[in-house]
Structures are given as structure tokens and as C-alpha cells.
Amino acid sequence: MTTTTVTAPALAVGERVRFARPSDESTWWWDVRATDTRFTVLTRQRPFRVKGELLYTIIDRERGVRGPCNLIGQGWDIEEPGGCERLLDALLRHADNAPGLRVEVSHRNNLPIEIHETHTPASPVRTITPSGLPGPALPAPNAEEFAPLGTFRGIDLQEDLDDAAVWALGHHDPARFAAAVTDYDVDLTRDHLIQPLQVDDVEHTHAVVLHRIASHDPGWVVTWAPRHQITGTTPGAFPITLIHR
């Protein structure tokens, strides 16, 4: 173990941390769950609750603070597989002014970063970096488990609310895909005056599966975040077509 007081050291997934502030919580250990060069997401067991109910905190090195996110209620679904990674992605989208949820560390509820102690386990750790995945990709989803929200113009569509995108497996003709998503929006809103989406809105890219979730349908968490630099040669990658909201 190491004992020191620092502003914001580099941390790796798997490390444990004790903060100096607030002093009445300085004996609590936090687990590093997702991290990059600016943000780190940590969790710990919620006191006096059943095992598995977690608290979370976010380190923002650039601002020199830690705390919960700025969303109403300051909550995030961190207990689901991939929840911490999705929170980190949302923080990075905000920092890069990219489309998506406007997520950052709360400006009203935060503390200066003062790490009192860190502990690195003997087992290997995994770190999310701007050019790396948080772990090995899993096999691509097959057609049977894809469970689309609907089929429009022969294309099975899925919507990712976290990343504000509608997407489909495979690389589809851009004009057909734009028309399919327009039909999906009309069906969803019953508004036939919706402005049709354009070919320029369509993107061909690749994604990977990060987690399988047995209790959920469709049962997996995927990412195509540009910071991961996923290409057709990335192990486990599969082609997708998407339109960002």
C-alpha cells in the first residue's frame, strides 16, 4: 500500500482508493471501475444495504473535483454491467461537445480531490484509454438475439438512448436506411410531417460487444465510440449502420 495526499494520480481499473475528504468517510475504500486521462468512475458498497447496492463518485482531473453527475437526482445505473463504462462515455461526449447526454460532475455537489491511500491488487488490471477498449470484445450478436425494436423497409432497427442513435446490424444502403429511420420516427410519433432524414445523416462504422446481460433483452452492451478506434480488423468487430439523433 501507499499513503500520500495528492491531487489526482493516474488510476487503473481494479485499484482501490481512500479519499481524505470528507474526514468521516476517510476509511471507505472505493473501487476504480472505468477511467481515462481526465475522468475516473469509482464505486463502493452502499452502507446498511444489501450487497451489490452501490454508491458512485466521479473524479474530474481537469476541474480538480470529484462527485456525482449533474443529472436530476444525480443517479446513474451503475449496478448494471457496463453502467460505469457508459457513464465514462457520457462524460467524454460532454467534454468533447459531442452529441448525447450533457453529463459532467455536479457543480453544486462536489469535493476537492484528495486521495489519502491507494491499493493495487496483485491481479492484472484493465484501463480504459482514449484509444483502447475496457477489455476484450465478445462475439458479435447474431440475428436471433438482436431483438430489434421494429423492421422498416426490410431493415431491423435498434435504438440506443444513451448514445442517441438508431442503428442496425450490417452496412445498408444509405438512402434506404435514412428512409427506414424516417418511417420508424413517423411510426413512433404518429407525426407524418416529420422532416425526412438525409443520406448525409447515415454513417457506416463498426461496433463490438462489451458485455452480455442475461437478465435483459436483447442481452448485451455494445459500443462504437470513436475514441475506441474500432475498425473492421478489431477483434470481435461487426459492421453497423447508424444515424445519430
The pLDDT profile of the chain, 245 residues, written as one tens digit per residue, is: 443 334 567 788 888 888 888 888 888 889 899 999 899 999 988 877 766 788 999 999 999 999 999 887 778 888 777 889 889 988 988 877 766 668 899 999 999 998 888 877 654 333 333 335 656 667 777 666 666 778 999 999 887 755 578 889 999 999 999 999 999 888 877 888 888 999 999 999 988 887 665 544 445 667 887 767 788 888 888 899 999 87
**173 vs 133, 154, 159, 178, 198, CA distance in Å?**
29, 12, 18, 9, 12
- Is 55:44 a contact under the CB 8 Å cutoff? yes
Which phi-psi region, left, alpha or beta, contains residue 70 (left: φ > 0; alpha: ψ -120 to 50)?
alpha
pTM score of the predicted model: 0.49
Whether residue 109 is found in the same domain as residue 148: no
Three-state SS at 202: strand
Residues 175 and 216 in one domain: yes
Q: Could you tell me if 7 and 93 lie in one domain?
A: yes
Does 35 fall in a domain? yes
Say how far residue 32 (Cα) sits from the centre of its chain. 15
| 8, amino acid identity | A
Q: Which domain holds residue 212?
A: 143-244
Tell me if 138 is assigned to some domain.
no
For 95-112, give one letter per residue: b (16+ CB within 10 A) or e. eeebebbebbbeeeebee
Instruction: Tell me how far apart the alpha carbons of residues 16 and 1 are, in angstroms, rounded to a whole number.
Output: 10
Q: Is residue 124 part of a domain?
A: no
Same domain, residue pair 112 and 149: no
pLDDT of residue 224: 81
Asked if residue 232 and residue 163 are part of one domain, the reply reads yes
Q: How many domains does the chain have?
A: 2
Tell me the one-letter amino acid at 180.
A
119, 134, 163 - which closes a domain: 119
To 5 degrees, how large is the angle CA 226–CA 128–CA 164? 40
6 with 115: CB under 8 angstroms?
A: yes
110 in the same domain as 20: yes
The helix (H) or strand (E) run that includes residue 89 is: helix 83-95
Which of 119, 151, 178 is the last residue in one of the domains?
119
Instruction: Answer yes or no: do 113 and 16 share one domain.
Output: yes
What is the distance between the alpha carbons of residues 43 and 33, in angstroms, rounded to a whole number? Answer: 7
Residues 182 and 222 in one domain: yes
